[in-house]
Structure 1
Amino acid sequence: MSDTRDDRGAGTGPPGPAAQLPGLGDEQVRALRRVGREWGRVSAAPEVWRAALPVDPDLGRFPPPAEIKPPRFGRLVPISPLGPRSAGERVDTEEPPTGRSARAGALVRRLVLGAALRSSAVVTERMRKLLALPVLSADALSSVAYGPEALLAVLVLAGTAGLAYSLPVSGAIVFLMLAVGLSYRQTIRAYPHGGGSYIVASDNLGRVPGLVAAAGLMTDYVLTVAVSIASGVAAITSAVPSLAGQTVPIGVGVIVLLLAGNLRGIRQAGALFAAPTYAFVAAMLTLIAYGLVDAAGRGFEARPAPPLGVTESVGVLLVMRAFSSGATAMTGIEAISNAVPAFKPVEWRNARTTLTWMVGLLIVMFTGISLLIHLTGVVPGSGETVLSRLAHLEFGDGWMYVFVQTATAAVLLLAANTSYNDFPRVLSLLARDDCAPRVFMRLGDRLAYSNGILLLSLAAALVFVAFDGLTASLIPLYAVGVFLAFTLSQAGMVVHWWRLRNRHWRKSLAFNAVGGALSALVFLTAGISKFTSGAWVAIVAVGLFLLVTTRIRRHYRAARDALRLHPHTVELPARTARGPLPARGSALTEGSGADGGGEDEEIPEEIRHLSVVAIATLDLAGMRALAYAASLQQPVLVVHISLTEDEARRFRGYWSLWGDHLPLEIVISPYRAVVAPLVHYLEALHRQHPELTLTVIVPEIVTRRRRHRFLHSRTATRLRRALRPLPKIVITTVPFHLPV
């Protein structure tokens, strides 16, 4: 992000995609200057406020992300707290539970989720290609376990005549895989910092197409969890038929385990992620090799399929349904283009190489399994998957059969877990763009997007239970969301190349155009041919998603308009604020000894104050909180948490434009979080002078409608819960009532 330096002050350039501080336009900059001049007429001089501070506001810095070294395992690194600490001192910011049931709940939470990580930072680990391939390709490669079977389950309705189309339809799907894979190679080149469907469609097609692409992605992620778990459970029940009646409880139990594991926020070691995927690839290649050798012994003569009942005649609609069902084997193919920054340098080149290997393996395995199905005459049946029937046919009941089923179940469950990385991330991007509640931008105690993880688990569990955990019932819903996102992403890339027109732009445009056209064909085919079979659910979900996100954006836009600075409506501190303030150190003349941190003040004169204003933006709500703090005629310190150095410079520039009337301390957080670093800073202030009473003043947005409350932060509540164990800290809110 460039650091624009103009008449607005140093570091007031436009916010980047990761920034939480909104940029100010020319009109707001002029309003900020006028408000600052009004403050200057009624408030004490800035140097008076600084001289009155009873503390040193500079308590050190968190280490920048570049200096944080990742551990060998995991992605969370302990960071020393701000400020001085005596030996062995421990400050616990967790709210102490009261009552027997509350204590029991806290114990269960600690055992399941682990202790809150107050002093940890998220570290981005760069992956080598050999590690990135299994980690990012688990979803795509595992779809071989259900894609060919889904195709066959439609064709078998037409009996032997329908099965004759299995190889031609499989060939069309392989061509689609190749075309879409080449298209995403162009996306990686154009978006070397990560280009998911939502970002690409929003950048090139506009906000509404971007939201439609996001709707397709969110539907895809929910169904990935449901379908992968359904297929994984089917692999287990095929090997252990006695568990066939427990499909739903087993699947829901797996979702609960995934929920607990992801809420803990601890990523498994890369080798553990890689093992199931590589084991599955080895199992599939071995199965294909054994099957082809066996077929070669009989001259590749196809065995006849068992007698089949005919319920439908062969027609274009049946073939289209089979094509769209089998195309679900392409799910997860865009995961690598989303995660380009996670690769080691050169990132985009390594990502393209990994994508090529993934598409190559996917084509080989899909083609091999489809060919084996044709040569062996295996057809879908109740109680056992097609893959299990093939393994039984080639390996019997021996250890190789167990290996194939175990690897299949493991990689499918791992594929379900990949959605837990992408769903909360896309939801946080939507929240950043004011299209989802901002609570989804918040990192939880374990530095994971806890609210997004909870929402994904709830949605996936509801879908899984509603369709009885049957893969065949879930497949019709699957293709709609997947190929809707594919189509809009590739259409966005066509617009991108048309606008850019750099070297080789025509070739790149052609690749993306072919991929987009084929993806659109599958989307329309699935939507029309499977509408009554369940595809209508996905289409309705996309429509509802678009409706809700546009309503949320409309509310945030109205709230932003209401919070815009208007010089004649900004509250100012009383003129008496020009009077004398307590001098530096006067708050420390009494009660500063070993017992200075007690709560034994008996008369007002014994209480020594410091007002700390936690402010995020310089809007009307923030200005009202500043005016309220200044009107108390006690020392005031303003604290702002910035996520990046650039954001800190921009806020400092805005603060200077306002006039720098009050002391400001900016803390740069390596967490990508706001409340946890603020808690650290307040704890450090308290440790510096325990005899001070800290009054933490927080602006609060009050909405007219109850349904809008969830859209705004509850920072004061979280601060109050975190800081309750510390004495002499008061949390107060300054409400700002929205007219909408």
Structure 2
Amino acid sequence: MGNKLKRVVIGKPMKSGELEEEKLSKMKALAVLSSDALSSVAYGTEQILIVLVTLGFAAVWYSIPISIAVLGLLTILILSYRQTIYSYPSGGGAYLVAKDNLGVGTGLIAGGSLLVDYILTVAVSSSAGTDAITSAFPSLHDHRVLVSLIMILFLTIMNLRGITESASILALPVYLFVAAIFVLIIAGLIKYVMGGIHAEVPELGTAVSNVSLFLLLKAFSSGCSALTGVEAVSNAIPNFKQPAEKNAAKTLVAMGMILGSMFIGISLLAYWYGISPTPEETVVSKIAEATFGRGVLYYLIQGVTALILFLAANTAYAAFPLLAFMLAKDKFMPHMFKVRGDRLGFSNGIIILGVLSALLVIVFHGDTENLIPLYAVGVFIPFTLSQFGMMVRWIRLKPEGWIIKLLINTIGMITTLTITLIFIFTKFSQIWMVFIFLPLVIFLFFRIHRHYMNIADELRINLESDKPEIKGSTIVIPVAGITRVVLHSISYAKSLTDNVVAVFVAFDEEEIRKMEEKWEEWNPGVRLIILRSRYRSVMRPLMKFIDTVEWKTAETDHITILIPQFITKHWWQNLLHNQTSLLIRAYLYNQKDIVIATVPYHLNR
């Protein structure tokens, strides 16, 4: 039943040889890996205005120079990450760049930040998608957490079906969103030029009282949330069709051009229309309503905006499992993240991402505004480390034209470091937990790595001197009576060795007498040892006996505890029986370096 349901949900298993068919073309990759960055258009301008309106409506004109500054930073990042793609075509982005050039510890900071950022990406995207839905349908506002969780579940299942299938589903809404935003920008621009907008807005350069550099920097850092997701292309180069690095570079540039055009367009319309952000309705919703009214086009724009905000999380689903795989390959994360699932994706990474982001939505009650600062600072840390790592690389290798490359990455590093510091100083009350959580993640990485190294040292053998030790075999069979289960186990044990002993734990003299009589009558050719238990415990006398056998025969024999176990036809029937065999096996696994085997006997009724 479970397997059939699994096949319905995620589809039939795929052969390993089909992996190349799962690679992405530029068009599909743009949909999967750019959806996060492109979707930030829906809230980037809004985050700037939320800060500026605290100074009064007259301060909204600052949104234009701030948006231009954000656009400049986007250009620097695109140029920088384009260089990273060609330098590190195996993917991994900031993690590999920082580890290769700045050391393992720095690489883990970048990798840990990105993992946290991808979890936040899913939480922010699902919450922002819910905000767009509740703007159009206010009655759903009280159920926003449930709506977000349903979105995360859908995305998790979709990605378990494979990256190509998820990309095919994503492509249409992503390009619909891009088309809808450009239609909105062009229509809004025409309406403004034709004099169809009569909003009174402050002129550029209008003096504003109480304005401070601190608040302007805070608004700028808030607007930089529109740049999250830019690094995803460089992290996921292995997902591209060949030539992977060229296709990735072209996809990155295309994403930058589309994102920059949409972001500055929305910022200009918000200023010209005199839009002020409110908790109940998004800036894009207000612009669409002012341009088209609450008609078909308005609901179409809101629909595709909600859809792209929701599907933006798919960028994380494409990048998180791949980064987790690289960390696991370097033994900093559990090896389960290296395993590909039935549909050739890294299923464990996909599932863990879905679970952690769902928990985050529940903890923050789906509040996008509270999540975005954490989301942004989580990506600007690896931004900075990546740029610095590339600077060190150019200075170390000095390839042809390295001075220009160094200059690009130096400007990128200084800019992103500045943004990171602005985030820390202006939004510390909202991001302080990053400085607790991130060191814990790094500590966990090192503990996992130490564990794997210790295991490798302990299990390593000398191929010249370490040879298998030939011993005899002693098999101990715990029995609870004389049944077909015991018969089946003894038959198997005697096929391996003649040195077999059965052990029975009795609670009173009458039980001992009956068991001795029945065993003598049956006479299976195996010696029966009866242990007395005054305190009605099976485990304690049995363990003492095993200790005795182990002490006497460990040097000459391999000791095997052969545990008979019947398997019921239906799972619920297990609840009707005690699970002594499971307890014995669990105890021995944790306490003894001996062979533990189970002989199953399947019941038919």
1:422-454 Cα distance to aligned partner (Å, 9 max, x none): 112211211111111222223345544333223
Normalized per residue, the structure richer in helix is: 2
The structure with the largest alpha-carbon Rg is: 2
Residues 141 and 603 (structure 1), Cα distance of their counterparts in 2 relative to 1, 3 Å cut: closer
Matches within 5 A, 1:15-26: none
Percent identical residues: 41
Q: Do residues 549 (structure 1) and 454 (structure 2) align?
A: no
1:124-149 Cα distance to aligned partner (Å, 9 max, x none): 33433333322321111111011111
> Which among 99, 104, 113 is matched to residue 202 of structure 1?
99
CA distance in 1, matches of 2:196, 2:414: 39
CA distance in 1, matches of 2:403, 2:601: 64
Work out which structure has the larger RCO, using CA pairs closer than 8 Å and 6 or more positions apart in sequence: 1
Q: Is the 8 A contact 1:219 1:538 kept in 2?
A: no
Using the size of structure 1 for normalisation, the TM-score is 0.61
> Which among 424, 446, 450 is matched to residue 347 of structure 2?
450
> Which among 420, 423, 439 is matched to residue 320 of structure 2?
423
| Structure 2 equivalent of residue 366 of structure 1 | 263
Q: Is the 8 A contact 2:201 2:271 kept in 1?
A: no
Matches within 5 A, 1:234-245: 234-245=131-142
| Structure 2 equivalent of residue 223 of structure 1 | 120
CA distance in 1, matches of 2:54, 2:114: 30
CA distance in 2, matches of 1:153, 1:279: 27
1:157-213 Cα distance to aligned partner (Å, 9 max, x none): 111243231111111111100111111111122123325111111111110010000
Displacement of 1:325 after TM fit?
A: 1.1
> Which among 469, 475, 492 is matched to residue 573 of structure 1?
469
Letter of the 1:556 partner, please give it: Y
Residues 435 and 524 (structure 1), Cα distance of their counterparts in 2 relative to 1, 3 Å cut: same
1:575-614 Cα distance to aligned partner (Å, 9 max, x none): 899xxxxxxxxxxxxxxxxxxxxx9995878779xxxxxx
CA distance in 2, matches of 1:114, 1:271: 15
CA distance in 2, matches of 1:313, 1:224: 34
| Structure 1 equivalent of residue 171 of structure 2 | 274
Residues 349 and 437 (structure 1), Cα distance of their counterparts in 2 relative to 1, 3 Å cut: closer
Displacement of 1:231 after TM fit?
A: 1.0
SS at match of 2:468: coil
What is the number of residues matched between the two proteins? Answer: 494
Q: Do residues 511 (structure 1) and 428 (structure 2) align?
A: no
CA distance in 2, matches of 1:213, 1:151: 26
Displacement of 1:116 after TM fit?
A: 7.1
> Which among 71, 76, 85 is matched to residue 174 of structure 1?
71
Displacement of 1:111 after TM fit?
A: 6.6
> Which among 48, 54, 64 is matched to residue 151 of structure 1?
48
Displacement of 1:555 after TM fit?
A: 2.4
Residues 543 and 122 (structure 1), Cα distance of their counterparts in 2 relative to 1, 3 Å cut: farther
User: Gaps spanning 5+ residues in structure 2: where?
Assistant: 203-208, 474-487, 498-553, 559-588
Displacement of 1:479 after TM fit?
A: 1.5
Q: Is the 8 A contact 2:19 2:344 kept in 1?
A: no
Displacement of 1:457 after TM fit?
A: 1.8
Displacement of 1:348 after TM fit?
A: 2.5
CA distance in 2, matches of 1:368, 1:351: 26
Q: Is the 8 A contact 1:167 1:371 kept in 2?
A: yes
Letter of the 1:565 partner, please give it: I
| Structure 2 equivalent of residue 249 of structure 1 | 146
CA distance in 2, matches of 1:350, 1:529: 38
Displacement of 1:481 after TM fit?
A: 0.7
Q: Is the 8 A contact 1:187 1:195 kept in 2?
A: no
Displacement of 1:541 after TM fit?
A: 1.9
CA distance in 2, matches of 1:130, 1:453: 23
Letter of the 1:304 partner, please give it: V
Residues 352 and 428 (structure 1), Cα distance of their counterparts in 2 relative to 1, 3 Å cut: closer
Using the size of structure 2 for normalisation, the TM-score is 0.74
Residues 381 and 265 (structure 1), Cα distance of their counterparts in 2 relative to 1, 3 Å cut: same
Residues 337 and 724 (structure 1), Cα distance of their counterparts in 2 relative to 1, 3 Å cut: farther
CA distance in 2, matches of 1:372, 1:493: 37
SS at match of 2:89: coil
Letter of the 2:453 partner, please give it: R
| Structure 2 equivalent of residue 343 of structure 1 | 240
CA distance in 2, matches of 1:322, 1:156: 10
> Which among 196, 211, 234 is matched to residue 108 of structure 2?
211
Displacement of 1:112 after TM fit?
A: 6.0
CA distance in 2, matches of 1:600, 1:456: 44
Residues 287 and 315 (structure 1), Cα distance of their counterparts in 2 relative to 1, 3 Å cut: same
| Structure 1 equivalent of residue 424 of structure 2 | 527
1:344-385 Cα distance to aligned partner (Å, 9 max, x none): 444333322221111111111000000001100011112111
Q: Is the 8 A contact 1:601 1:607 kept in 2?
A: no
Q: Is the 8 A contact 1:236 1:405 kept in 2?
A: yes
Residues 382 and 556 (structure 1), Cα distance of their counterparts in 2 relative to 1, 3 Å cut: same
CA distance in 2, matches of 1:263, 1:346: 26
| Structure 2 equivalent of residue 395 of structure 1 | 292
> Which among 86, 89, 111 is matched to residue 192 of structure 1?
89
| Structure 2 equivalent of residue 123 of structure 1 | 19
CA distance in 2, matches of 1:400, 1:111: 39
Q: Is the 8 A contact 2:10 2:157 kept in 1?
A: no
Letter of the 2:379 partner, please give it: V
| Structure 1 equivalent of residue 482 of structure 2 | none
Residues 114 and 370 (structure 1), Cα distance of their counterparts in 2 relative to 1, 3 Å cut: closer
SS at match of 1:123: helix
Letter of the 1:343 partner, please give it: F
Residues 297 and 108 (structure 1), Cα distance of their counterparts in 2 relative to 1, 3 Å cut: same
| Structure 1 equivalent of residue 304 of structure 2 | 407
Matches within 5 A, 1:457-496: 457-496=354-393
CA distance in 2, matches of 1:402, 1:476: 29
CA distance in 1, matches of 2:36, 2:15: 33
| Structure 2 equivalent of residue 497 of structure 1 | 394
| Structure 2 equivalent of residue 290 of structure 1 | 187
CA distance in 1, matches of 2:492, 2:68: 86
Residues 458 and 497 (structure 1), Cα distance of their counterparts in 2 relative to 1, 3 Å cut: same
Residues 524 and 567 (structure 1), Cα distance of their counterparts in 2 relative to 1, 3 Å cut: same
Letter of the 2:158 partner, please give it: G
| Structure 2 equivalent of residue 539 of structure 1 | 435
User: Gaps spanning 5+ residues in structure 1: where?
Assistant: 1-102, 306-311, 578-598, 609-627, 633-701, 705-715, 727-740
Q: Do residues 331 (structure 1) and 228 (structure 2) align?
A: yes
| Structure 2 equivalent of residue 698 of structure 1 | none
Q: Is the 8 A contact 1:139 1:415 kept in 2?
A: yes
CA distance in 2, matches of 1:347, 1:266: 16
> Which among 19, 31, 34 is matched to residue 137 of structure 1?
34
